[in-house]
Structures are given as structure tokens and as C-alpha cells.
Structure 1
Amino acid sequence: MPYPIYMEKMEKNKEKIKKAILVLEDGTRYEADYFGAPVSSSGEVVFNTAMTGYPESITDPSYKGQILTYTYPIIGNYGIPSFSYTKEFISEFYESDRIQVSGLIISYYSNRPYHWNMNQSLSNWLYENEIPGLYGVDTRFIAKKLRKNGGSMLGKILMRNEDLPFYDPNQDNLSEKVSIHEKIMYGNGKYKILLVDFGLKNNILRCLLRRDCSIIRVPWDYNFIKDEYDGLILSNGPGNPKIYEKPIHYLRLALKKKQPIFGICLGNQLLGIAAGGETYKLKYAHRSHNQPVISLETGKSFITSQNHGYVLDTRNLSGEWKIFFRNLNDNTCEGIIHNNKPFFSVQFHPEASSGPQDTEFLFDIFIDLIKKSKYNT
């Protein structure tokens, strides 16, 4: 679609709202210009320091219920990619089938986007999905404020002087809103993977399919105990991990079995709770593409993509478990591993998308554990 059509569409849809306002729960107000949809919204305001990857983050179910603030000054410059799918009907460029954020806050909106794979502008995409965006504010200042408050604050985007209440997504079971409702099958590979969808990113599917897997994707509350599979994966997802009592119960039963288990992000927290640990909210949340972690197994360090405000407290884990990775900024737990059984999990995103792919090798480790378990070699 040629650029002039973008601008024509934006101007045609643009309502005459002089200024929009971001209101934080402490009463702070930021006046801003708007793009996207001229609607008000409420949620948990978080930040991300990434320079690229906004289409992936905006469609990442881990951001459900959140208003995403980008510290990088220019957003929208390469538009939104085309809507194409793999033969397994998985989006090639998005991490889910819809926008997951409740709003977007940026410093400067690039209204002249260009990229060879661009399908439309960021503003048009937000407009079509009824998601508001704000620009013209100091997002780095906002990020500093959020960081001092545990990495997030409740907030709302107001287009007019309406009385919109604050909304805390951490009080809800967000996986009910972002997980599938019925079982879905992918691929016809050698290794049978049961994948529990708490808010799955599509790149987890892509990473497994590249490794000769058959994937059985099931809802967040699916009882997988009696199912047959070669390996179990617990996906990423949004919200407070303590809310998910049912899958934690199933996990405690799964830990009595021998099939390999791999937890990612929220999956790491749920596995840790099932293993006897607790979770707490971080003072400074991890929300960026440049979070450094170190493997306590090898001593090697990696740069990782992260988006979480909760973390595992491992003090109550039994002696059967040990810390797998630590965060090099604050020394918090970034993963756990069982001493004898093929169970492990990580807090960061080895599937990346967006972000560095330094730790995608963890999928290979998982497949190797399946091989050893399956063939007793």
C-alpha cells in the first residue's frame, strides 16, 4: 500500500481531540498527543527499553492488560509487517493473532514509515484494533518513575474528561483471556510435545517445529496428567503466578513422573511454586532486551529478552533443585533445574522474538533430554 494512502486513512479517521492524558495511580498526569484509536483505556503501565521489535511485543500475550511505554525515542518507523502464515497456520511475524497491549506510550511517532515488508502504519493498525497510543511525552522519565515503583504502576489513557476507573490486571486470571480454549495440533515430527498455553508466544511453536516436533497445544487449565507425551513445556504468560492454582496442582503430579519438563517465563514461576518455592514482586522489574544472566552450570553469560515483574524465591525449594541461571544485575533467580530428573525452567525468553537469540540452545537441551529419556541412552 503506497504511503499517501496511509496518511489519507489516518487523517480521515482522526477525531478532533486536542490532547490526551496519561494518568498514573499516584495522581501524576501527562498531557500528550494521540495516534491510533481515539478511545480511553486502563491497565498496568510498564516499560520496555528495546530499540526494535514493537510488532512482536505488542502481540505478545505476556503484555495482556498492560499499557506499554517505550523508552526508545522513535517508534513506528518501519510500520507493521504483512499478515502471512506458515503451512501450520502460524503467523510469520506476530506472536499471537491480535494486539495484546491495552495502550501504547512513545516519545516520537514516526508517521512516514517504510520497510520492504510493511503492510500498514502502526497508527492504522492500532486504530483498526481500537487501541490508543500517546506520543510527545518523555518516556524515559516515565520509565524511571515506573522503575522506582517496582517497574509498573496502574494507569489510564483518557481521550476526554470521562471517569474511567483504574484496572489492575494482576487481580485477574489473564490466561483465561489469552489462552486457547480447545486443543490444537501442529507438525508431524519425531518428538511429541505437550505445550500448555498460558499466553503462548508463536516463536515457541516455530522453535519446536524446527526441531522435528509434533506439538499438542492445550489450554492453561488442561489436565495433562493422564496424557502421553515425550516432553512437557509450560509457556510464558501474563499476570500473577499465584492465581494459577489448578495448573500448579497438575504440575505437582507431573513432577512425580519422568518425562522432561521445560518452563518459560510464567512457566518457570509455576514450576518453582509446584516444587515448593514462592514468588514475589520485584523492586525493579525486568523489562528489556538486554538483561544479562549467567548459567551456574557453565559459568557463561548471556543477553536475554525479559518482561516480568514477579520472580521466584527459591529459599523453600528442596535439595532436589538448584538455581540454573541468575540475573547479573540484581542476582535474582532466572531459572531452576532438578538435580536428578529432566526438569528445568528459565525466567527469560529463549525463543526471543523480539530480542536476542543467545539462549535458543535451551530448546536443544530439552530435545536432548527427551532423546535420553525416550531411548534410555
Structure 2
Amino acid sequence: MTGYPESLTDPSYKGQILVFTHPLIGNYGVPGKKMINGTKILSNFESDHIQAEGVVVSEFTEGTKWDSNSTFDSWLKRESIPGIFGVDTRELTIRLRDGGATIGMISDNRRDMRELDRYDYESINFVEMVSPKKPIYCKTRGKKPKGTIVVMDFGAKNGFISDLMALGYDVIRAPWDSSPEEILEFRPSGIVYGNGPGNPNLLKGAISNIKELLDTGIPSMGICLGHQLTTLALGGKIKKMKLGHRAVNKGVMSRIDGHAYITTHNHGYALSKGDMPSGAKVLFESIDDDVVEGIMDKRHNLLTTQFHPEARPGAWDTRFIFDMFYKMMQHGRKKA
């Protein structure tokens, strides 16, 4: 099983307990923190620390490999993240599948269970916990930049930022509550609304800001939470799912070429076909249910996906999404 360092450090898991269904975790240890050459982006982690609140595994091992810096268990201890093993995680998954997402706790004291009644995940703004407090400048490596991409950072993954930089643009990670004026001061070639945790319907201020930015016609892309927020900004509806999509192997159907692709997902809220914003078209749809997995709105120069095209971890089937966004930026601003 690979990908657990990336999954646990993904800011989208803030406020959640992560259950691994694979029976063995920790088989190659935990790598040391290494920067991608010429950047400040970590190559093996999606942020600089574990974001999940707890971990549940069936069995863990103290395995190590050539680039391992610590064991899985010591990593959790060092970052003060509670974990539990010896659990039938597949049976637990069945219960979560049948009953839907639920509030949970890892504790050795039953009296702590009373705290669960006071915890309301839907009303907590987790984005403000993982978004940077001031802009972060990421310079493209080894060549003159073609321009600047501004990411409204709701908890963006390192892999996502790295793939944007690979397009040949400098990337600026702006705080989640940046005003349209602050974003436009950077003179962006493109604006990206990235991934992040929690309930998108709470972020009223960000939705209003996004609406104003979309009206500029600057090439824009929304990924995961960004897909949901741009949908809300355009008048669509995002609703909580009974069963979220959380896997590295979920199939989506493309209306671009009619092909099916394997994609990485981590979301508990979704856009359904009956809640589409006016004027937008479906680009991708789930093979499993009615969820819209991506839209295009040509009036606002907007491309979105609910899944993660950067896929760390996961399949790289849909990395062509970044090429589509690159072409949009080459064509430039479009008047809405």
C-alpha cells in the first residue's frame, strides 16, 4: 500500500478520522521531507504536517525502505496524532457505507463519548485552519515565467501547486479570504480555486469574492472544493452526500471524448445534475451515481473538476486537465 504519507498530509482531511481499508499500512515507512529541486514544495507530502485528526488501520508494520526517515507509528507519535490498529476496517467501511458519514472519536475513555454531541462538523470553518495567513510566492524553476497563476488557497496540496508551476508560470498562494482587489493586484494570467476541507456552503464571503472574480473573464479553474465554490458562485447548489467519494480509483465518464477515467476523490459534498448553474455544461460525470464531476462555463472562462487531476496519490489519467487550463491561459481573458 502506497500513498499514506500524501493522504494523511492532505489538508482536505482536516477535521476527519482517516480509515484505511488496505489491510497493511506502514510497509515502506515514512520518507524524510525533501523539496522538489529549485522550489519550496515538498515532494513526498501534501503539506508540512499530518492534517487528519486520527488514523484507523487493520494492521501496521514497522517496515522501512531506502529513503525512509521514520516508521509509521513513530511519525504519528511525533505529530501527536492518535491511531488505533487491530480493527476490522472492512467491516467498519461497510457500516460507514450503510449508515453514511458519522461523527467519531478515538479514545480509551467511554466518558469522552459525551463530547460527540457537542461536535458539529458542518458548522466548522476548517478552511481558515489550513489556508496561509499571507501570500506565498512559488517561483517556476529554471526559466522565465510565462505569467502568474494565483491560487485562492483553501488548503491546496503541494502536488497541485507543483503541477501548476510545471506549466511554466509563477504561482502565488493567496489566503482563502483574499478580496478580489487583492487577487487582481497580482495581475494573474489565471486564477485557480483549489481543494480544501469542510462545508462549502459556510464560505459566503469567499463565494461572493469568487463571483466577482469570475465576472472578470480571467481564465479560471476550480478543483474539488474550488469546483463546489465556483458552482455556488454561479448560482448552482452543493449538497451534502450520504456517502462521500473518497478513493484513488473512482471512475468518471468524460463528455469531452466519451472515455472513462480512473480518478482520485475526497469529498463529502457534491453537485447533482438537477442543481447545475445556468449556462454551465457538464464535462465529467460519476459512473457510480448522479454526481457531476466537472463543468465548463465558457461565459466565465471556467473549467472545474470535483476530482483531483494531480492525483497524489492516485492514477494520472486526467492530468490533461492542466493542459486544458494552459490553453485557456494562452487565449487570455474573456469578457463575461
TM range (shorter): over 0.9
Alignment partner of 1:278 is 2:237: yes
Residues 54, 81 of structure 2: 8 Å contact kept: yes
Letter in 1 for 2:16: Q
Alignment of 1:13-32 (within 5 A): none
Give 1:335 deviation, angstroms: 1.1
Please give the per-residue CA displacement for 1:199-245, whole angstroms capped at 9, x wherever unaligned.
11000111011110111110110113443211000010000000111
Give 1:304 deviation, angstroms: 0.3
Alignment of 1:210-289 (within 5 A): 210-225=166-181, 226-227=184-185, 228-289=187-248
Please give the per-residue CA displacement for 1:327-373, whole angstroms capped at 9, x wherever unaligned.
00113110111144421110000011011111111111101100011
Give 1:310 deviation, angstroms: 0.5
Equivalent in the alignment of 1:323: 282
Alignment partner of 1:170 is 2:122: yes
Equivalent in the alignment of 1:203: 159
Alignment partner of 1:357 is 2:316: yes
Letter in 1 for 2:320: F
Q: 1:90 aligns with which of 1, 24, 41?
A: 41
Return the alpha-carbon distance in structure 2 between the equivalents of residues 318 and 104 of structure 1: 37
Please give the per-residue CA displacement for 1:134-160, whole angstroms capped at 9, x wherever unaligned.
11110011011111223x210111134
Structure 1 regions of 5+ residues with no counterpart? 1-50
Please give the per-residue CA displacement for 1:86-143, whole angstroms capped at 9, x wherever unaligned.
33221111000111011100001113x0211111001001001111111111001101
Residues 217, 334 of structure 2: 8 Å contact kept: no
Equivalent in the alignment of 1:183: 135
Equivalent in the alignment of 1:67: 17
Return the alpha-carbon distance in structure 1 between the equivalents of residues 239 and 261 of structure 2: 24
Q: 1:311 aligns with which of 270, 276, 286?
A: 270
Equivalent in the alignment of 1:39: none
Indicate the SS of the match to 1:157.
coil
Equivalent in the alignment of 1:294: 253
Letter in 1 for 2:31: P
Alignment partner of 1:135 is 2:85: yes
Residues 127, 154 of structure 2: 8 Å contact kept: yes
TM-score, L = length of structure 1 = 0.83
Indicate the SS of the match to 2:227.
helix
Q: Quick one: percent identity of the two aligned structures?
A: 39
Q: 2:66 aligns with which of 116, 130, 143?
A: 116
Indicate the SS of the match to 2:150.
strand
Residues 59, 96 of structure 1: 8 Å contact kept: yes
Q: 2:108 aligns with which of 150, 159, 162?
A: 159
Moved more, 357-366 or 81-90: 81-90
Return the alpha-carbon distance in structure 2 between the equivalents of residues 294 and 144 of structure 1: 26
Return the alpha-carbon distance in structure 2 between the equivalents of residues 249 and 367 of structure 1: 26
Residues 215, 300 of structure 2: 8 Å contact kept: no
Please give the per-residue CA displacement for 1:47-72, whole angstroms capped at 9, x wherever unaligned.
xxxx4200000000000010100110
Letter in 1 for 2:330: K
Give 1:161 deviation, angstroms: 4.8
Residues 82, 118 of structure 1: 8 Å contact kept: yes
Structure 2 regions of 5+ residues with no counterpart? none
Please give the per-residue CA displacement for 1:4-46, whole angstroms capped at 9, x wherever unaligned.
xxxxxxxxxxxxxxxxxxxxxxxxxxxxxxxxxxxxxxxxxxx
Give 1:316 deviation, angstroms: 4.6
Give 1:374 deviation, angstroms: 6.1
Greater share of residues in helix? 2
Return the alpha-carbon distance in structure 2 between the equivalents of residues 333 and 174 of structure 1: 24
TM-score, L = length of structure 2 = 0.92
Return the alpha-carbon distance in structure 1 between the equivalents of residues 97 and 18 of structure 2: 13
Greater share of residues in strand? 1
Return the alpha-carbon distance in structure 1 between the equivalents of residues 94 and 154 of structure 2: 30
Return the alpha-carbon distance in structure 1 between the equivalents of residues 328 and 169 of structure 2: 14
Equivalent in the alignment of 1:99: 50
Moved more, 79-88 or 265-274: 79-88
